[in-house]
Amino acid sequence: MRVVCAGDCGVDRYVPLGLDRPGGITLNVAANARAAFAPADQIDVITAVGTDARSGLVRQALAAFELGGHIVELPGATSVQYIDLDPSGEKRFLRYDAGVLAAWRLDDAGRALVAAADVLVAPVFAQIHGFFESLIAAPCAGLRAVDFLDLSDIDDPVGFVERIASRIDVGFFGLQGATLSLVDDLERLAQRHGRLFVVTLGADGSLALGGAGRLACPAVAVPCVVDTTGAGDSFAAGFLAEYSRSRDATRSLQAGAERAARTIQSVGAFNWP
């Protein structure tokens, strides 16, 4: 099986700790996919990095997790997100700089990789919206999954999801603290388009929407929450590793919850020295 993770591979800068780690949603998903999918499965990334020193940290992580794919180097800066942590371990994103990824669009080599994917997964958010639009327009015969995050930077979130729904199979949404009406709207949309939407709710667990009834899965209890950065990314990797083979949403929710529980017990979305 070939899994293609497309989007931001950059640096997570933990401001209070004075710590830089390889990260970004796409690298987080890919690193967790390497552990969650079968050893024989190929995990690839599609991304653009800069010529700055931060790109070296990204390349170290790609090599450490044996991630192949299409990594374009462009003059300029690699993406970086600035993170704060409160005493509960809950992450607070301070700001995000997309760097060279902001202006890059999927090229022919990237489209060929997308076309060959058995599973394609990508995030969408305002700073890389142009790249996402070029990606979602590319043909892909495999299972297509999009992480819509919390939809907070989109003016008409339900309308945006509606426009994308026909091009995807699975949608992920991190809606901890969101209104119940938004979950209801997404459920109706999923049912109308025959899609599977997965909503993560932090400590309140997760939901699968789109069938005749909602499927709910509790969060896995952990002794101590250290850092929630990447919890949704690791959840998506665990979910897709199960769902791509079984199409069993209940088992996939549990697999995602278990992988997210591992992530939140240490700093960062994956083990790194």
Tell me whether strands 2-6 and 42-49 are parallel, antiparallel or unpaired.
parallel
Q: Would you give the DSSP letter of residue 169?
A: S
Which residues have C-beta within 8 Å of that of residue 264, sequence separation ≥ 6? 89, 222, 225, 226, 227, 228, 231
Strand, helix or coil for residue 197: strand
| Residues 16, 18, 20, 21, CA torsion sign | negative
* Distance, CA of 147 to chain centre: 5
pLDDT tens-digit profile, the chain (273 residues): 999 999 999 999 999 999 999 999 999 999 999 999 999 999 999 999 999 999 999 999 999 999 999 999 999 999 999 999 998 899 999 999 999 999 999 999 999 999 999 999 999 999 999 999 999 999 999 999 999 999 988 889 999 999 999 999 999 999 987 678 899 999 999 999 999 999 999 999 999 999 989 999 999 999 999 999 999 999 999 999 999 999 999 999 999 999 999 999 999 999 998
Quick check: 165 and 171 in contact, CB under 8 A? yes
Topology adopted by domain 2-263 = UDP-N-acetylmuramoyl-L-alanine:D-glutamate ligase (3.40.1190)
pTM for this prediction: 0.96
